[in-house]
Amino acid sequence: MTSPANPDLTRRLNAALAHVQDPELRRPITDLGMVADATAYDDGTAAVDVLLTIAGCPLRNTIVDDVTRAATAVDGIDSVDVTLDVMTPEQRKALKDQLTSRTVPFTQPNSLTRIIGVASGKGGVGKSSLTVNLACSMAAEGLRVGIVDADVHGFSVPSLMGITQAPTRVDEMILPPVAHGVKVISIGMFVEGNQPVVWRGPMLHRALEQFLTDVHFGDLDVLLLDLPPGTGDIAISVSQLLPESGLLVVTTPQSAAAEVAERAGAVASTTGQKVVGVVENMSWLELPDGSRMEPFGSGGGALLAGRLSEGLDADVPLLGSVPMEPRLREGGDAGTPLVVSDPESAAAQEIAAIARRLTHTPRGLAGMPLNVTPS
Ligand SMILES: Nc1ncnc2c1ncn2[C@@H]1O[C@H](COP(=O)(O)OP(=O)(O)OP(=O)(O)O)[C@@H](O)[C@H]1O
Ligand SMILES: [Mg+2]
């Protein structure tokens, strides 16, 4: 008598398995079609069916150990039964075709690019403004930075960065335009005028995938993704295409806004992503007499950081509070982000400090080969 399958636990099991690499191919076993089935049950047991590429795979024990470790690390799973099978010739051929096709360079095991998605629960809290300002600030510090405008329906990065030229194409490769030292790609560069992009899930996924595979960013230190508001298809696609990406959650100081933002951050627990921190935006407005007015209340950023830390059982810091700054909006309208046009302003200084906190924390070595052999 088996216990009923638990969908939420199963989702987390699969997210955990996405971090297990085939020891030889050095790619997640979930991407390689090596996980035929993975199910977790209400009683804390789990069953994982792994397909080996060849019958006598010399590294079968390593794979079993890694799968067992990843599965039992999931909160709620106590034991796992790993079954080994062998791929059919067709499955092996599909794998070979996949390995010889183009891949997302940022997910390669040796990639050192720090990938951060800028997320929020609701719209208009300043994700895009922060994305471009953080990127320009990092570029000014000498880092190699790219932005993927993942807000496919509501793209705004090209105009915020003052980019009007289209990307150059070289054969299958797309070269991203560079502005203020930052490489940028956006669906807005491919549509005529102000036409809406009326795509749904699969097309959105394909567009993002193409941005990540066909756009030649070269070696980047940081890749920022400007995400659409909320927890929709794109957030899921990003977590699948870039499982190592972290999330930066933006909120206003309003407590109701922080509650909505908490949902966006909590998605990380199902996708297995890390929330790298919270930024509070529009925290106050400095009046001509030097006093501060708080149009959206106060405390939302700290509240959200506390809730996410608790909910995700991880340290989610409040990385900074950015004041309201009319010149920030003007800079956006003019295509010159505030950190470039007015780097001395209080908002620009705070954004620069947040950028440093984001890039100066250790990136975390989870999933990185350390190239050491135990003696
Ligand atoms: N700190 C700030 N001071 C003044 N204006 C700001 C600030 N942050 C953002 N804004 C303004 O608020 C508006 C919304 O910002 P932005 O477009 O960056 O938000 P968003 O979260 O990306 O929105 P959407 O969810 O629609 O993509 C813009 O007009 C922007 O100029
Ligand atoms: Mg936006």
Domain end point (choices 46, 75, 101): 101
Does one domain contain both 154 and 125? yes
Distance, CA of 154 to CA of 188 (rounded, Å): 9
Q: Would you say the CB of residue 20 lies under 6 angstroms from ligand 1? A: no
Does one domain contain both 184 and 240? yes
Does one domain contain both 127 and 171? yes
Q: Rounded mean pLDDT of 162-191? A: 86
Percent of the chain beyond pLDDT 70? 92
Q: Rounded mean pLDDT of 357-361? A: 87
Does one domain contain both 92 and 197? no
Does one domain contain both 158 and 298? yes
Mention every residue, 6+ apart, whose C-beta is less than 8 A from residue 321.
253, 279, 280, 281, 283, 284, 301, 350
Does one domain contain both 52 and 116? no
Which residue's alpha carbon is nearest to atom 9 within ligand 1?
126
Which residue's alpha carbon is nearest to atom 16 within ligand 1?
126
Q: What is the pLDDT of residues 321-334, one digit of tens each?
A: 999 999 999 999 99
Q: At 342, is the pLDDT very low, low, confident or very high (cuts 50, 70, 90)?
A: very high
Atom of ligand 1 nearest to the CA of 130: 18
First to last CA, the chain: 45
Does one domain contain both 328 and 310? yes
Which residue's alpha carbon is nearest to atom 25 within ligand 1?
123
Domain end point (choices 101, 129, 146): 101
Least confident range of 8-22, 92-106, 163-177, 179-193: 92-106
Does one domain contain both 246 and 317? yes
Atom of ligand 1 nearest to the CA of 250: 21
Domain range enclosing 70: 21-101
Please report whether residue 264 resides in a domain: yes
Percent of the chain beyond pLDDT 90? 59
Which residue's alpha carbon is nearest to atom 14 within ligand 1?
124
Contact 253, 176 (CB under 8 A): no
Mention every residue, 6+ apart, whose C-beta is less than 8 A from residue 202.
none
Q: Which two tokens stand for residue 270?
A: 């199902």
Does one domain contain both 286 and 260? yes
Does one domain contain both 200 and 275? yes
Please report whether residue 373 resides in a domain: no
Please report whether residue 160 resides in a domain: yes
Binding residues for ATP: 121-128
Q: Would you say the CB of residue 279 lies under 6 angstroms from ligand 1? A: no
Amino acid at 253: P
Q: How many CB atoms lie within 10 A of CB 104?
A: 15
Contact 34, 23 (CB under 8 A): no
Does one domain contain both 97 and 222? no
78 CA → ligand 2 middle, Å: 41
186 CA → ligand 2 middle, Å: 12
Q: At 365, is the pLDDT very low, low, confident or very high (cuts 50, 70, 90)?
A: very low
Which residue's alpha carbon is nearest to atom 3 within ligand 1?
324
360 CA → ligand 1 middle, Å: 26
Does one domain contain both 96 and 75? yes
Domain end point (choices 68, 101, 134): 101
What CATH number has the domain bearing residue 307?
A: 3.40.50.300
Q: At 24, is the pLDDT very low, low, confident or very high (cuts 50, 70, 90)?
A: confident
Distance, CA of 287 to CA of 159 (rounded, Å): 29
Q: How many domains is the chain built from?
A: 2
Atom of ligand 1 nearest to the CA of 122: 25
Name the more confident of 182 and 58.
182
Least confident range of 35-44, 74-83, 97-106, 161-170: 97-106
Q: Would you say the CB of residue 235 lies under 6 angstroms from ligand 1? A: no
Contact 277, 361 (CB under 8 A): no
- Which of 128, 129, 333 should be mutated for ligand 1, with most atoms under 8 A from CB? 129
Q: At 367, is the pLDDT very low, low, confident or very high (cuts 50, 70, 90)?
A: very low
Please report whether residue 370 resides in a domain: no
Contact 220, 265 (CB under 8 A): no
What's residue 100's pLDDT?
Answer: 62
3-state secondary structure of 275: strand
